[in-house]
Every structure is written in C-alpha cells, then in structure tokens.
C-alpha cells in the first residue's frame, strides 16, 4: 500500500537524521503537509502533542481551521493546544508569523515536557527555498535549503514530495484544510510553488525531488568545509580570533567560512554575515596599519591588528559603576577579577598577562571603569601617563579602551590596568608584609600585552 510506503519513508528519514518521533510536538496548521505528518507520527507509534497557531488574519477561515485541527486531534486521541497571536500592523507578515510560531512552539514544548518540535516541511519546500535563494543571489548556505534538523526542530517529511503527501492523505481518505493565502500571487514563494515548479516538473519530472537532493549534497559539503574552517578559529576570553598564519594557510573559499565561524563563536545562533560583510572583514587585513575596526550585524566588531590577526567580539556599552576588590571574585561589566592574599611573590606568575601582585596594605582596592583623566605612574618608567594613552600605545583598539576596568587604591590612584601597567609604589618589595594577588579570571576580550 502507498500509505505503508509513505510511513516507511518517514521512518527512514527519521533514522537517517536522528529524529526522535516518540513524543514530538507537531505543528499542525490543518493543511495537507502538517496533517500528513501527524498521521504518519501516529502510524509510527509515536505519542505526539499538537500545537495549532491561529494568526487571526483570515477571519472566519482561521476559526474553521482551528476547529478542524481540534476535531482531528480528538479523533486521534492526541493532546491539542490552540494558540492565538495578533499580527495586526505587522510588516513582513510571513516572517513574523513564522517567528511567532516557533516561539510559541518552544514555550508549549517546554510546558508539555517535550524536547522535539516537528514541522511538515517537504522536499517541495526545500526546492522552493533553493530557487528563491538562487534568484536573490546566494552562496552555499542558501543552496543548502532547509535542514532536516536544527535546534530542536525536526522535519520528518523533508524527503517526501507534496504529491506523495496528497496521495497518502487520499488513501487514508483524510480531509485537510486549504489556506486561501497560499493561492495568492502576492507572495514570492507562492509564485514559485504555483508557477515555477510546475514548469520545471514538466521539463524535468522529479525536479522538486532533484533540487532537494542537490540541497542535501550541498549541506554535507558545507558541513565539511565549516569543520575545516572552524579549526582556524581560536577562542580567547570572549573573543574569537583568526591568526594571520591560520588564514594564510587557507584557500579563499575557506577563509570566508573561517570568518563566518568566528562570527558565530561570539554570536551563536545568529544568521551568518552576508557575503559583503565577509569580504569587508578580509579586506581589513590588506588596508591601513595599526588596528582597524569594522562593525558587523548583531553588534559584533571585527578588529584587524597590525600583525594580520583578526579578532571578533561583541560591542558593549562602556563600563559603569565600581566594586570593592574583596578576596574572591569581583564582577564588573563582563569582567571577573579574582583576588587573594598569598604568602609570597612569584616572579614567573607575575609575568603572565592579566596577573598582578599588589601591596595589600595599600588597600582596600576597588575596580571601576577607566575615566578620561585617569593617570598612572608606570612601574620603573618614572613620571606619569594617561591610562587611555597607555592603552593606545599598547595597540588596544579604541572601541575596547572604555570597556577595560582599572584597579584603584583607597585614594583613587590607579594601581593596575588589567593586561597592562602596574603602578609605581603598588608592587611587592622585600619589606612588603601582606601580598594581594590579583588576576583576570574572565574578560569579554583579550587585551594585547
């Protein structure tokens, strides 16, 4: 029977991609794809729950969809949740509706104690996505289409075509709802579905399946390339760093993947930067001298330094406030400073970046944001120097300087700049009775020493 073949195909897809269909939350609109998914999960012995989202955009039609889904679930003995959202006054309705569905799905799945959300995307959806991305201009990621599994979302019908879905439902004599907005030529995806794909299917029968299969191959190639590129990324504190040597050893295509991998390290889950942003980052290495900064989407900053190294970090507001530097951990704006009294001075340890040994008797010390007029008397140099100038001399990027704390004594004099200067008179001498070791335990970035 065709229905057995369909369900068997869904089982193979689930096994191939590691999808757990034992207790999924199935998103059911009432349309053929999601209804077929629900019936297949039940046929496989799963115990699903269902979420139906009423977007309230089609008047009485939306209400009839919700009623249909509830009756379907009642007939199958499946728990059903109907949620309503208000999208009035929203631009880009399709994107906003999708985002709201996934947000609600995560909430309902957590409330029901379910770890997997299943959607009814088919091979035709993959084909439509690839065509749209090609028309807009895309790289490998756009050609990869829709992934079978991503972030707790599984798509068990991703290898089944829409025609297979309709045949399966017809054999079950299972009705479904038709969303009138899916017939509108207003949306680009609808035009691809209604006009472009049918022409391709006439020219090359099986075109949708072939496009979906090609996307799957691209996904596999992309995963391999991203794995190679990720090896070039170093993590230092809150930064992702591409060393000059690591980039030089990569062909141009892998350099682009390395930039995307570094970006994703500091902003996980965000869409990857566009091609133009990636090219602008790579161009930083070839232009100017000193430190060059580039703002990227999502508040990420790329900083190219004179040695050809490129670091990525999240832009943050300047530090504010201050904390007493007690023994243990002291936190300020993403920094954690560890302090403890120790019995003796360790010269080797003191030479490490981010470590200082202070005369404890001059405390209590405080940690606060650097200020415009802050001065320091650098140990062994004589005279005074502006803290911000000292940072600039050490090639600390301008964007970073205002977000680096300083350690000051009880009178407000700067005793130490993390990763930088130790103040004259605050270091350990032979006659120092109490020694305070101070160390950067965590920082949003790594300041060059």
Could you report the per-residue pLDDT of 307-342, keeping only the tens digit for each? 778 888 877 666 677 889 888 888 887 788 999 999
Provide the pLDDT for residue 98: 82
| pLDDT score recorded for residue 449 | 45
> 231-314 belongs to which CATH class?
alpha beta
For the segment 342-346, the average pLDDT, to the nearest whole number, is: 90
pLDDT on residue 130: 94
Say what the pLDDT of residue 366 is: 92
CA angle 69, 70, 76 (to 5 degrees): 90
Across the range 288-294, mean pLDDT stands at: 73
Q: Which of the residue ranges 167-176, 251-260, 283-292 would you say has the lowest mean pLDDT?
A: 283-292
Domain boundaries, the chain: 2-222, 231-314, 322-442
31 assigned binding-site residue: yes
For 2-222, which CATH superfamily applies? HUPs (3.40.50.620)
% of residues, the chain, pLDDT over 70: 93
> 28: number of CA atoms within 13 Å, CB side?
31
The per-residue pLDDT for range 19-71, each reduced to its tens digit, is 999 999 999 999 999 999 999 999 999 999 999 998 766 667 778 999 999 99
Which tokens in the block code for residue 53?
Answer: 């989202």
pTM (whole model) above 0.75: no
33 is in an annotated binding site: yes
* Chain CA centroid to CA 208, Å: 30
Residue 100 near residue 92, CB atoms below 8 Å: no
379: which DSSP letter?
A: T
In this prediction, residue 127 has a pLDDT band, given cuts at 50, 70 and 90, of very high
Inform me whether the pLDDT recorded for 408 exceeds 90.
Answer: yes
Residue 230 has pLDDT above 60, yes or no: yes
The crossing angle, in degrees rounded to 10, of helices 252-266 and 207-230 is: 80
* Residue 369 pLDDT greater than 90, yes or no: no
Q: Is 34 annotated as a binding residue?
A: yes
Give me the mean pLDDT over the 433-445 stretch: 84
State in words which class domain 322-442 has.
alpha beta
Domains 2-222 and 231-314 share a fold: no
Q: What mean pLDDT, rounded, does the chain reach? A: 87
Distance CA(397)–CA(411), nearest Å, equals: 29
pLDDT at position 83 over 80: yes
Instruction: Give the Cα separation of 363 and 346 in Å (integer).
Output: 20
């Amino acid at each position: 029977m065709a229905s057995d073949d369909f369900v068997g195909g869904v089982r193979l897809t689930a096994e191939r991609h590691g999808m757990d269909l034992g207790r999924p939350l199935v998103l059911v609109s009432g349309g053929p794809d999601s209804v077929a998914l629900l019936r297949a999960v039940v046929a496989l012995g799963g115990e699903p729950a269902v979420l139906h989202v009423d977007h309230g955009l089609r008047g009485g039609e939306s209400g009839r969809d919700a009623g249909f889904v509830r009756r379907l679930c009642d007939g199958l003995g499946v728990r059903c949740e109907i949620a309503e959202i208000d999208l009035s006054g929203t631009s880009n309705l399709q994107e906003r509706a999708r985002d709201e569905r996934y947000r609600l799905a995560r909430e309902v799945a957590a409330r029901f104690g379910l770890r997997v959300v299943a959607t009814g995307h088919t091979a035709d959806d993959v084909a439509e996505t690839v065509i749209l991305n090609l028309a807009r201009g895309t790289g490998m990621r756009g050609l990869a289409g829709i992934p079978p599994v991503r972030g707790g979302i599984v798509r068990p019908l991703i290898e089944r075509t829409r025609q297979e879905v309709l045949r399966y439902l017809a054999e079950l004599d299972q009705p479904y709802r038709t969303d009138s907005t899916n017939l509108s030529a207003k949306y680009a995806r609808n035009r691809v579905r209604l006009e472009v794909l049918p022409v391709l299917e006439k020219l090359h029968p099986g075109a949708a399946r072939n496009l979906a299969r090609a996307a799957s191959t691209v996904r596999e190639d992309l995963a391999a390339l991203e794995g190679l590129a990720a090896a070039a990324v170093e993590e230092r504190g809150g930064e992702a760093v591409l060393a000059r040597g690591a980039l030089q050893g990569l062909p141009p295509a892998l350099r682009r993947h390395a930039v995307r991998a570094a970006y994703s390290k500091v902003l996980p889950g965000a869409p990857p930067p566009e091609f133009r942003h990636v090219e602008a980052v790579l161009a930083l290495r070839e232009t100017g001298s000193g430190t060059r900064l580039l703002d990227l989407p999502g508040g990420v900053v790329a900083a190219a330094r004179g040695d050809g190294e490129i670091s990525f970090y999240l832009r943050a507001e300047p530090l504010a406030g201050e904390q007493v530097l007690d023994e243990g951990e002291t936190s300020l704006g993403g920094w954690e400073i560890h302090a403890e009294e120790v019995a003796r001075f360790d010269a080797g340890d003191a030479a490490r970046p981010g470590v200082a040994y202070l005369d404890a008797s001059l405390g209590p010390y405080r940690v606060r944001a650097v200020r415009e007029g802050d001065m320091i008397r650098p140990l062994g140099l004589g005279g005074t120097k502006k803290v911000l100038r000292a940072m600039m001399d050490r090639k600390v990027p301008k964007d970073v300087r205002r977000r680096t704390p300083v350690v000051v004594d009880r009178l407000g004099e700067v005793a130490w700049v993390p990763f930088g200067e130790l103040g004259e008179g605050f270091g350990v001498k032979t006659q120092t009775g109490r020694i305070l070791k101070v160390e950067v335990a965590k920082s949003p970035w790594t300041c060059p020493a």
